Amino acid sequence: MSQNDSLFARAQRSTPGGVNSPVRAFRSVGGTPRFITRAEGPYFWDADGKRYIDYIGSWGPAIVGHAHPEVIKAVQAAAANGLSFGAPTEGEILMAEEICKLVPSIEMVRLVSSGTEAAMSALRLARGVTGRDMVIKFEGCYHGHADSMLVKAGSGLLTFGNPTSAGVPADFAKHTMVLDYNDCAQLEETFSNMGDRIAAVIVEPVAGNMNLLRATSEFLQTMRRLCTQHGAVLMFDEVMSGFRVALGGAQSLYGIQPDMTVLGKVIGGGLPVAAFGGRADMMKHLAPLGPVYQAGTLSGNPVAVAAGMSTLKIIQQPGFYDKLGAQTRKLVDGLAAAAKDAGVAFSSDAVGGMFGIYFSEQVPENYAQIMAGNKERFNQFFHAMLDAGVYLAPSAFEAGFVSAMHSDAVIDETLAAARGSFAKLAA
Ligand code: KE4
């Protein structure tokens, strides 16, 4: 029995499913999760001592590479001064100023400890600001596990939400409408039916939780126009795309200014920092200034902020995103070429440092096309790559992530493993 097997068996005795977040359990791909002992640069090692080229990067945070010396040094220095004070620190000011500088649509920002907390708080703020209850989200987008976000498309004309999770009362879901990603007509119709009841539209402007899916410019522009016209808050959930697809996030690529933005992952550099921010006139509704309550013991934690600030400094180095984008594009184009040579139906896409791989002829343009992909083929490819020392996201419905440490040699090693893996599929 491998160390991973014995650790997994033991973990399941004390933790539901043996994991602290469901996607880590390999339920979608089958097999035994790898228990990671350490990580460095583009690599991590499992409990059996096997090295992997890592393409999840903690689901986005490890953009400068694992255990970057500058980040580790910043964390060690901060930790030596104490771990948490429950009182304000200068570091939180520096982080807030940096976020406002890098994301111009954010005039004020509140730090929290997870993307879920950031999205949940931002939605409460939008409801408080507008005095309205309805929120629109899109099928396939994930905004954390707050009750009102665990909602799937309802039946019937108005697509009122139904819970996707046990434990979520129908009443908590009924104020969430779930529409189709990239469907402008449906958005227009919904706003014309009830625009004056909509508090916010929340969207992943580059989606990464159904696999990578790009929003069309028309989709986001329609959203922006309708929210302005009807007084609804346009909220970009850039927890994943923020500082990942570009320094200014997806909003800088599309040239669209949301009213609020949700951030996470990269701004913590691997430690728990997330944030929500936007127009100052909206943010001032937050306690202690205004009537919308929100709080957090570890919000703005000094050690986590040190990791985040160090990471934000590194990604602002000249050419960082040109290089990251080039490496990611080299990866996805190389994968497509290898699949073609093997005669496997496959496509791929990349936006900045995140990518999608699809076992379908064309790059999907909506949720239905993603769902039509060959999941079994993905699972076979996932395990063939895992055996070859390449760790992809353990689900056909997740995006992948490249770091600044994924050099040409690392990408070439990955593509060699892919050629062998595609050959196995074609056999
Ligand atoms: P957290 O609460 O997991 O920090 O963030 C929730 C969240 C919110 N918004 C977006 C766009 C996100 O991608 C996420 C979290 N992403 C997943 C990756 N599919 C985290 C991985 C996991 O759940 O373990």
Give the tens place of pLDDT for each residue, 236-289: 999 999 999 999 999 999 999 999 999 999 999 999 999 999 999 999 999 999
286 and 328 assigned to the same domain = no
Whether 155 is in the pocket of ligand 1, judged by its Cβ within 6 Å, is no
186 and 298 assigned to the same domain = yes
Instruction: Give the whole-angstrom CA distance, residue 417 versus residue 376.
Output: 19
390 and 328 assigned to the same domain = yes
Say how many Å lie between the CA of residue 23 and the centre of ligand 1.
10
**pLDDT at 177 > cutoff 80:** yes
Query: Which of 163-172, 336-345, 366-375, 413-422 comes out lowest in average pLDDT?
Result: 163-172
| Residues with catalytic function | 142, 237, 265
282 and 373 assigned to the same domain = no
Q: Is the dihedral of CA 398, 399, 403, 405 positive or negative?
A: positive
Beta bridge partners of 52: 44
**pLDDT at 97 > cutoff 60:** yes
Q: Is the dihedral of CA 169, 162, 206, 224 positive or negative?
A: negative
**What kind and span of H or E run contains 52?**
strand 51-54
324 and 260 assigned to the same domain = no
Q: Point out the domain boundary residue: 314, 333, 364.
A: 314
Instruction: Give the whole-angstrom CA distance, residue 146 versus residue 138.
Output: 15
pLDDT in tens, 18-50: 999 999 999 999 999 999 999 999 999 999 999
Q: C-alpha 336: how far from its chain's center? A: 24
Say how many Å lie between the CA of residue 237 and the centre of ligand 1.
10
Structure tokens at 305: 């902020």
29 and 98 assigned to the same domain = no
How many residues are given for the chain?
A: 427
- Percent of the chain exceeding pLDDT 90 equals 95
- Domain extent, residue 329, equals 3-63+319-403+410-426
**What kind and span of H or E run contains 358?**
strand 354-358
206 and 251 assigned to the same domain = yes
pLDDT at res. 155 = 56
pLDDT at res. 162 = 78
Give the alpha-carbon dihedral of 18, 21, 24, 29, to 10 degrees. 100
Whether 148 is in the pocket of ligand 1, judged by its Cβ within 6 Å, is no
Q: C-alpha 115: how far from its chain's center? A: 9
**pLDDT at 294 > cutoff 80:** yes
Say how many Å lie between the CA of residue 144 and the centre of ligand 1.
6
95 and 207 assigned to the same domain = yes
- Percent of the chain exceeding pLDDT 70 equals 98
Mean pLDDT of the chain: 96
Residue 357: CATH number of its domain:
3.90.1150.10
CB 218 within 8 A of CB 184: yes
Say how many Å lie between the CA of residue 142 and the centre of ligand 1.
7
Whether 143 is in the pocket of ligand 1, judged by its Cβ within 6 Å, is yes
Q: How many domains does the chain have?
A: 2
pLDDT at res. 227 = 98
**What kind and span of H or E run contains 96?**
helix 90-102
Instruction: Give the whole-angstrom CA distance, residue 405 versus residue 314.
Output: 12
Q: Point out the domain boundary residue: 291, 314, 337.
A: 314
Q: Whose CA is nearest to atom 23 of ligand 1?
A: 21
51 and 135 assigned to the same domain = no
H runs (alpha helix) in 244-301: 250-254, 280-283
284 and 172 assigned to the same domain = yes
**pLDDT at 158 > cutoff 60:** no
**pLDDT at 116 > cutoff 90:** yes
pLDDT in tens, 396-417: 999 999 999 999 999 999 999 9
pLDDT at res. 317 = 98
Q: Point out the domain boundary residue: 314, 334, 353.
A: 314
Whether 142 is in the pocket of ligand 1, judged by its Cβ within 6 Å, is yes
Residue 137: CATH number of its domain:
3.40.640.10
Whether 114 is in the pocket of ligand 1, judged by its Cβ within 6 Å, is yes
- 1: pLDDT confidence band, cut at 50, 70 and 90? confident
CB 141 within 8 A of CB 298: no
pLDDT at res. 160 = 62
275 and 217 assigned to the same domain = yes
Query: What global pTM score does this model have?
Result: 0.97
Question: Which residues, at least 6 apart from 411, have a Cβ–Cβ distance to it below 8 Å?
Answer: 327, 330, 331, 334
pLDDT at res. 157 = 46
Whether 278 is in the pocket of ligand 1, judged by its Cβ within 6 Å, is no
Q: Whose CA is nearest to atom 9 of ligand 1?
A: 143
Best mutation site among 59, 137, 392 for ligand 1, i.e. most ligand atoms within 8 A of its Cβ?
A: 59
pLDDT at res. 333 = 98
259 and 171 assigned to the same domain = yes
pLDDT in tens, 219-242: 999 999 999 999 999 999 999 999
